[in-house]
Amino acid sequence: MSRRTALRTAELVRSGELTAMEVVEEALDAACRLDPVLHFLAELDADGARRAAERVDPAGPLAGVPFLVKARTPPESPILTRLTAAGAIPIGWSTRARTGAVSLTFGWNGYEYTRNPWDLSCSPGGSTAGGAAAVAAGVVPLATGGDSGGSLRIPASFCGIVGFKGTYGRIPRPTGRGLGELTTAGFLAADLGDLIHATSLTTGPHRLDPTALPHWPVPPLDQRAWRVAYRPTLGACPPEAGVDRVIRQRLAECGVQVVDVPLNLAPTDEAWPVLSALDNGRGVTTAQVQRAREIRDHNNTALADLFTQVDALITPTTLTVAHGYDQHEQSIVTGDPCWTFNVTGHPAVSVPAGLSTGLPVGAQVTTPHGTDATALAVAQRIQIDLPRPPTG
């Protein structure tokens, strides 16, 4: 999926070969051309983007890099203020799932559903739908989002790009640490290096979230012989045969050692709704909280035991390839491998592993708490460079 990366764009702006205004106009043109087809914009802010381009410091590490902001993200969010301080320029807000929908794996701009650049009959996933569609289509190299149950990783998988949920607290949030501790802010990107640098620039404690993890410097990505465990599912539902086949084939050819290690996880579907209710101020009983805590503790211990024997756990990111954009009122079981790691708080990254029936398949890499660099290094080994999607 060849395109100019965010880091390359900033390098050209710093050298004077491009101006921030030229880069922004390029992104705005692409947005105006492709949004009527893909419907990824909740709102375009062309005037604001041009004003930002006029005053950007060309020496910034992301000088002139355009990005999209997930709709309803508070403007004081540390991920936004730190990204713009680095010279990145928001060009608008991307779609997300409609509030109260049965399925959150789609996007809605108020009158049209967001489409997948790989197949216009399909959803780009969600809830960070518009950001994923725009990144995959080459409109912007980066988009922001939050991940409570796969909202970054599911659309990354459906759209053939990269999505990363760091260890809980990796990027500070405007509301601080949640009672349920599910949601981690993060990025969607076309390039793993862009995602790593953007994550690093936005980490570290903030006055709105002083309990966030310490600043995370850009790590060297170790390329030793990784030992990994593979699980085609973490719940009751199996993956599509094509999804499982693509990931198994990729693991066989990418030079990692796949070992068979026992893993006994408790089901997540009892704990996640309780923790989500805590995060969102909804009432729960003491017994429900205690049970959610027991599940979280059990799974943390089971995963800690697993990671004494392997460097990483690999799963499909989603059990299916992208489903139809019009299935938004169905209860779709596809992101089950994701929400386990929101409950436990482990780092998890989705990278493209191949295509099934012409649609992207994402592989999810999970490693111990705090070992975000290991997750990204293993992901770098596994990922493949997909061709450009048909729309883009």
Q: Is 151 a catalytic residue?
A: yes
Question: Residues with Cβ < 8 Å from 53, sequence gap 6 or more?
Answer: 19, 20, 21, 23, 24, 64, 89
Query: CA angle, 152 as apex, 335 and 164 as ends, to 5°?
Result: 110
Q: Determine the Cα–Cα distance for residues 4 and 40; give it in Å rounded to an integer.
A: 20
Question: Residues with Cβ < 8 Å from 372, sequence gap 6 or more?
Answer: 166, 167, 170, 199, 216, 219, 347
Q: Determine which one of 151, 157, 350, 356 is catalytic.
A: 151
Q: State the Rg of the chain over Cα.
A: 19
DSSP 275-320: HHHHHTT----HHHHHHHHHHHHHHHHHHHHHTTT-SEEEEESSSS
Amino acid letter at 236?
A
Beta bridge partners of residue 350, listed in sequence order: 163, 364
Q: Is 70 a catalytic residue?
A: yes
- For residues 68 and 90, the answer to whether their CB atoms sit within 8 Å is yes
Q: Determine the Cα–Cα distance for residues 139 and 39; give it in Å rounded to an integer.
A: 12
**Cα torsion through 272, 93, 83, 157, rounded to 10:** 50
Q: Determine which one of 77, 103, 123, 127 is catalytic.
A: 127
Q: Determine the Cα–Cα distance for residues 168 and 149; give it in Å rounded to an integer.
A: 12
- For residues 323 and 119, the answer to whether their CB atoms sit within 8 Å is no
Q: Determine the Cα–Cα distance for residues 123 and 115; give it in Å rounded to an integer.
A: 5
- For residues 185 and 171, the answer to whether their CB atoms sit within 8 Å is yes
Question: Residues with Cβ < 8 Å from 171, sequence gap 6 or more?
Answer: 78, 79, 184, 185, 186, 199, 202, 203, 212
Nearest Cα to 135, choosing from 161, 172, 102, 111?
161
Element (H, E) at 13: helix 6-15
Catalytic positions are 70, 127, 151
